[in-house]
Structure 1
């Protein structure tokens, strides 16, 4: 395909254009000129037309042979001239293109430079990525070391200025962590190599800074504990438990102090012990003084079995007094009304006393509820009368509550959970007065509660002896009860036994629930005081039975003595009360252990003495042989009354009392022995 035809295909002719010229016809100059002119007529410049012809000629020469050889010299010269003109024509355009060529060369160079820069940037980016990974790896390894060797300024400010509370304890933990780091780096070769500890300035500064923080922390902890101890001795009525709670919140601080300044910690512990010794002594003395203001039902020697209490006369007097008050037309004056209340509240007959055991046993069941003790303000103003065991129970509740709270605090704060206590003398020096009391030879509980125990012992002694001097105003010397009952000593055997049962319930609770043994010696000393007092009351009842029965009955009007005597009913009721106190659901002591108590020995002795007195009385009333039938009827009636009373009471309870059943069997055997046929 010729160039002409190529042009024709690329540049299609319009409707007015002439058909293309055959390439062969262009061999002549005229035809060639006409062809060029036709190209020019197609809005093409001459140089462009000639260049096109040249291209076509080259193509045509390759296809159909060279047509230029057919041209004449004249034609060639013309063509040369035209070519030269063309060269001169395009020279201007070439001049114009030279800046563009230069621009293109510069642009090409810039492209090469940019490509080189991008390559360099890529290499730098790869290098930076590699350095970043290396730096990240180094940071992960160095950060722990830097943190271990650094003390944040916030920690220093907190140790210096912040109040000592739960949040402040974080500073103590921070110091302990740093001490552990220092100890680890010193002890292990790997740690010394890792931290370069030998000759490391950073490690030396860290150790020096931690020691300064330890010294400041010890100073602040010391001041804080001293402030709390001073609050206990202040005149304000601040509760010790509030101060103990504040101390327990920062118990780690005391452990820190004990670790770094053990002597100072021991001195502070000693100061707390003697402060609480004074604290409890003062408050318990005030509380006992208030308890002694309570009105007590006094059961004296006139309430023993067989004593001529004059119940009939007292009942008649009381009835006449009430009748006179009701028949009086005049209004009752406040003083007279007060006398009436005293008359109704304080009078307790022997029968009422003996039958009071069921109501009084409730105190043992209520003891398991751990109700709070009566406030001293109420104790000083209440007009009601109370039994002796109520007074002791109030004291016992207050004592046990405070001892339990103090024991748990001491173990948790000062001993950090270790229930092994050293002697107080091992904590530090004590004063001359403390040396004389020998209290320093015991542990903290013996020192702290020594005076309270003495107050409690004196209080129990006051309860059973009714001494006029107030326990709270006495000296610390212990009151030793006399070997025999004084005229003011109580004969309330029920109260003594109930107090004993309360003490045993306290011991059981402290051992099984709280696991606190520090009250054992005090409670055992109370039991050693109460049991002899109880046996003395039993002795007094036995002696009274022997005297009153032989004194009250004569040989005259024997027929009316076939019925049971009043002393038999009193004996049965008294025996029933003792047996109920021997067995109680609140008492978890086993039966064999209970049988070993002085109570059962006293019951057997009381029963044997009663049977002996009743036998002697029957012999005195009815003779030995002449009236044997009446004698047997008399004995049967008395023993049958005892069986009836015991059976009636034992059947009405929710639980059967085995001890009562044993006594029923014994007296039923006596009834069968004297039963007439």
Structure 2
């Protein structure tokens, strides 16, 4: 093995440090780090003796791995790098260890006195800690005893709390039982001898509470209290006495309403019955027979009061009625047919003829500005008019402001809804006890009482509406009433008052059929326009027909009332009216001699209808009616423009159309024939200024609406420019081409007026409107 290390050391393939390490291994002076750790462990375990190494094992180990392991040690690697002798270095370390050991022993010997004192102090501290341990053990024992005492006190406290709670519960139940069973002399005296006023409420409430307790105790399955046998009869006697006194008082107050000059029903309800509602609740729960009698008397009295009130109110409203529309105020009714009488006298003229077919301010009745007439003010006015006699009666009636029916309808039904709301709320408070409210039957009870009370008033309202509906021809007034009726129904829903549904529906059943009947009358009147032998109409009859204006105003009013709540009935009525109006236009157009007059007539009528609809806020794209008549007008205007051009520039249109049909190509007619061009040029140059003047005069004469006339004139002149521009281009192409071989170019006898010159002439007429 030694030979192996020596051969490695003698090799020239390694550096000097490597060779020195191998040499040290060969001499047995250098061990691997693992062997060093084994020797260190041997010394720590107390083993001594000569160090021995297993050279055979070392020989079998991989020399390269051992050398790599030595090179990783920093100290050995540093020594080998500096070229130091490892054996000498080991002897130096050994000497240093012996010196350090000797120094340590000497220092220990010199410090032995201090070490003895430290040992004495340590023993003293141990004694002190033993004493503290004893004290703490005793304290822990005492704390354990105190903790046990606390647990015992806590258990006692819980037990006392349970006993206290049980005693409180028993005391409460016993107090409730005593309070429910004991009838004090003071309670008996107050019930039997006390006056029935606001001080009577507390004794009655106490009596009711005792009776509830007795009833509850008597129904318990665990047996009853013996005292109930004694207190039950006494409570029964007090119940009868209290019921009799309450019945007498409430009946007296209710029957007093029948006397003339007495308090009004709302005043009695507000000032007396509502404050004493608990007394009636006592009757409902404790004496149903007396409560039923009281309820029947109230229903009878209130029924008469409301019936009389609304009957007088409706009579007063009739005196304020000013018919806005009469039988002859139909869309197709001619004004001349309204003259009557033996001497040709006419009927009296209404103050405001605008109310016949247009809404005007009548629509304010649907808003806050159209507030209803207060019943007190109206009845006072009606009484003043009724009290006048002789010559003062007519003057008094003239001073009274007359109103259309929708205002009177609103006044009556608004008062009906307000009184119904007040009455329902009163009945819900006065005739429905707390027990009934808890059973969710309170509203049913109040509705049943309300129907009995308000049936005459509702019937009178239907009669009031029927009297107007049967004799009216005012479709707008009827539709306004329908909208008012719907608003009142919505108001009842907002107030959460579930009454008057039947009345609202019955009113609608009166109004809708009449509205449809009146619309049918309007349609029949339009159908009769120019019926039979129709005379031929002249050019002076091209202005808008009177039916068109009425129709436009009427349709605008219907659309306005149909905006908030669209209904199919109104939409169907509008389509029926529009179809009949178109039929009327067709019948009238048959009386004209030429198509131009017909177009002028239709344009004027369509323009008037669209204008009136636009003035009422209805634009194209938002309403079907506006879109329809706008399209009809546009179609007629386009045809009228072509008709005017045919009249004054027909030769130009015909020539351009013929040339465009033949095709402007070489070899066509335009290449060889110049006479047609020259004829058109001669005619146009000579007459176009007069033709423009005639067109302008015809538009001014035939269209009274300046804005509409301007639009039509611009359309005619614009279309003329388009035709003339096409002709001018044809002319230039025809006469600017080179002649064929051997031919001679022919120049036109006359050149057409330039387009700019024509535009100058046209601009003279664009500002006439």
What TM-score, normalized by structure 2, do the two folds share? Answer: 0.53
1:251-289 C-alpha deviation (Å, 9 max, x unpaired): 222222122222332232122212222222222222222
Measured at CA, do residues 618 and 262 of structure 1 come closer, stay the same or move farther in structure 2, by a change above 3 Å? same
Residue of structure 2 equivalent to 1:394: 411
1:663 alignment partner, one of 617, 625, 636 = 625
DSSP-derived class of the 1:386 partner: coil
- Equivalent residue, structure 2, for 1:84: none
Q: How does 1:516-595 map to 2 (within 5 A)?
A: 516-550=497-531, 554-556=535-537, 558-584=538-564, 589=565, 594-595=566-567
1:443 matches 2:426: no
**1:295–1:383: 8 Å Cα contact kept in structure 2?**
no
Q: Distance in 2 between matches of 1:617 and 1:349?
A: 30
Is the Cα–Cα contact under 8 Å of residues 392 and 499 in structure 1 kept in the other structure? yes
Tell me the residue number matched to 1:151: 183
Q: Aligned equivalents of 1:661 and 1:276: distance in 2? A: 50
Is contact 2:254–2:301 with CA below 8 Å preserved after alignment? yes
CA distance in 1, matches of 2:300, 2:423: 13
Aligned to 2:597: 630
Cα deviation 1:41-90 (Å, max 9, x = unaligned):
xxxxxxxxxxxxxxxxxxxxxxxxxxxxxxxxxxxxxxxxxxxxxxxxxx
Q: Contact 2:599–2:636 at 8 Å: present in 1 too?
A: yes
Residue matched to 2:295:
269
The structure-2 alpha-carbon separation of the partners of 1:187 and 1:521, relative to structure 1 and needing over 3 Å to count, comes to closer
The corresponding residue for 2:460 is 455
Q: Distance in 2 between matches of 1:546 and 1:234?
A: 60
Q: What is aligned with 1:383?
A: 400
Q: What's the counterpart of residue 247 of structure 1?
A: 273
CA contact under 8 A between 1:639 and 1:667: conserved in structure 2?
yes
* Matched residue SS, 2:616: helix
Mark the CA change 1:529 to 1:180 in structure 2 (over 3 Å): closer, same or farther: closer
- Count of aligned positions: 446
Q: Distance in 2 between matches of 1:257 and 1:634?
A: 80
Matches within 5 A, 1:264-413: 264-310=290-336, 347-348=350-351, 350-355=353-358, 357-366=359-368, 372-373=374-375, 374-380=377-383, 381=385, 383-413=400-430
C-alpha distance in 2 between matches for 1:595 and 1:227: 52
Deviations 1:351-389 (A, max 9, x none): 45333x130010111289677444311134352221111
RMSD: 3.5
Inter-CA distance 528–313: structure 2 relative to 1 (3 Å threshold): closer
Partner in structure 1 of residue 733 of structure 2: none
Distance between the aligned counterparts of 2:371 and 2:607, measured in 1? Answer: 40
**Which one of 249, 259, 263 corresponds to residue 224 of structure 1?**
249
Distance 1:163 1:372, change over 3 A: farther
| Equivalent residues of 1:351, 1:570 under 8 A apart | no
> Is contact 1:303-1:350 (8 Å) kept?
no
* 1:176 CA drift (Å): 2.5
Taking a change above 3 Å as real, the CA distance of residues 369 and 412 of structure 1, as seen in their structure-2 partners, is farther
8 A Cα contact 1:493 1:537, kept in partner: yes
Secondary structure of 1:249's aligned partner: coil
- Cα 1:631–1:167 change in 2 (3 A) is same
Gapped regions of structure 2 (runs ≥ 5): 1-166, 341-345, 386-398, 642-769
Q: 1:646 to 1:311 in 2, by over 3 A?
A: farther
Structure 2: distance between partners of 1:221 and 1:554: 86
Aligned to 2:580: 609
The answer to which structure, 1 or 2, has the higher relative contact order (CA under 8 A, 6+ apart) is: 1
**How far, CA to CA, are the matches of 1:363 and 1:287 in structure 2?**
19
**Cα drift, residue 503 of structure 1:** 0.9
1:492 alignment partner, one of 456, 474, 480: 474
Distance change (3 Å), C-alpha of 1:527 and 1:363? same
TM-score, with length taken from structure 1: 0.60
Q: 1:546 to 1:153 in 2, by over 3 A?
A: same
